[in-house]
């Protein structure tokens, strides 16, 4: 019986010694990976733009209101051609005509038509973004001629983002790897293989803007924009 107990104790001692010896090896093999974020940005210039202009006119009949709105719309188109000489596309959008009811002495609407109001609009597309920006100001001046005009835009876009995205992925990945390498070296380790990489959403913002969104941002108000990208990288330690 005594011999059996001594044998068991000896076995436990050997197992404990083995665990103590093996522990440093386990820690190294299961070291947590380095997770870093790489960042890159690029200044871009919009190469396409659009502007929507709408005019409203009134008349005793819907036909007359429609015709008057058309005359005003022709003035908008004329000003557009003066300011945008090259590569301009003008698309007329859907017209709306509504009835405006009379009001009684109490200011309440009654079921009698007072006049008709017609709204006609065009969308102006061009690659001459600088001229488009000036066009908006010129169209607003038509208000001084009694033309009720409403503008939406101008909006400015980058027509082909794919090459820019590819450059940013490369730059952000290089940036992230450099950070990971510095972290590993500062801990006396070497950087191992890349085990995971994830691209974040694209942020297209105004210059000198820190705005971000989990869904991404696309600024359309400015011609000069900054395209930003973040990638998340995971590297092994050692190897």
Those residues of the chain that have pLDDT short of 50 are: 2, 4-30
Q: Helix 62-83 to helix 129-140 angle, to the nearest 10 degrees?
A: 140
pLDDT confidence of residue 57 = 95
Which residue's entry shows tokens 């011999």?
3
pLDDT of residue 18: 42
Long-range contacts of 134-140 (CB under 8 A, 24+ apart): 134/83, 135/51, 135/79, 135/80, 135/83, 135/84, 136/51, 138/79, 138/82, 138/83, 139/51, 139/53, 139/76, 139/79, 139/80
* Beta-carbon contacts of residue 137 (< 8 Å; ≥ 6 apart): none
How high is the pLDDT of residue 100?
87
Residue 149 to residue 165: CA distance in whole angstroms: 38
pLDDT of residue 239: 63
- In the chain, what are the domains? 30-45+161-237 (3.30.110.170), 48-157 (3.30.70.360)
Q: For position 5, what pLDDT does the model report?
A: 42
Residue 14 is predicted with a pLDDT of 42
pLDDT (0 to 100) of residue 86: 77
Query: What's this model's pTM, rounded to 2 decimal places?
Result: 0.77
Encode pLDDT of 68-118 as tens digits. 999 999 999 999 999 998 789 999 999 999 998 988 888 888 888 899 999
């Amino acid at each position: 019986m005594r011999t059996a107990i001594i044998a068991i104790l000896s076995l436990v001692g050997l197992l404990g010694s083995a665990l103590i010896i093996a522990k440093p090896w386990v820690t190294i093999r299961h070291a947590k990976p380095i997770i870093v974020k790489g960042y890159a940005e690029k200044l871009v210039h919009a190469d396409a733009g659009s502007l929507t202009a709408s005019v409203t006119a009134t008349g005793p009949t819907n036909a007359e209101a429609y015709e008057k709105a058309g005359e005003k719309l022709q003035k908008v188109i004329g000003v557009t051609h003066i300011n945008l000489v090259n590569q301009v596309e003008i698309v007329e959008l859907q017209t709306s005509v509504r009835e405006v009811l009379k009001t009684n002495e109490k200011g309440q609407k009654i079921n009698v038509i007072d006049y008709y109001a017609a709204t006609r609009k065009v969308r102006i597309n061009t690659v001459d973004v600088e001229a488009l920006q000036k066009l908006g100001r010129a169209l607003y001046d038509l208000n001084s001629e009694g033309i009720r005009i409403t503008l939406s835009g101008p909006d400015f876009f980058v027509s082909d983002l794919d090459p820019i995205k590819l450059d940013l992925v490369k730059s952000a990945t290089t940036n992230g790897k450099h950070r990971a390498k510095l972290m590993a070296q500062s801990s006396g380790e070497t950087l191992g293989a890349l085990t995971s990489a994830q691209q974040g959403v694209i942020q297209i913002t105004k210059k000198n803007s820190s705005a971000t969104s989990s869904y991404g941002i696309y600024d359309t108000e400015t011609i000069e924009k900054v395209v930003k990208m973040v990638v998340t990288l995971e590297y092994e330690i050692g190897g």
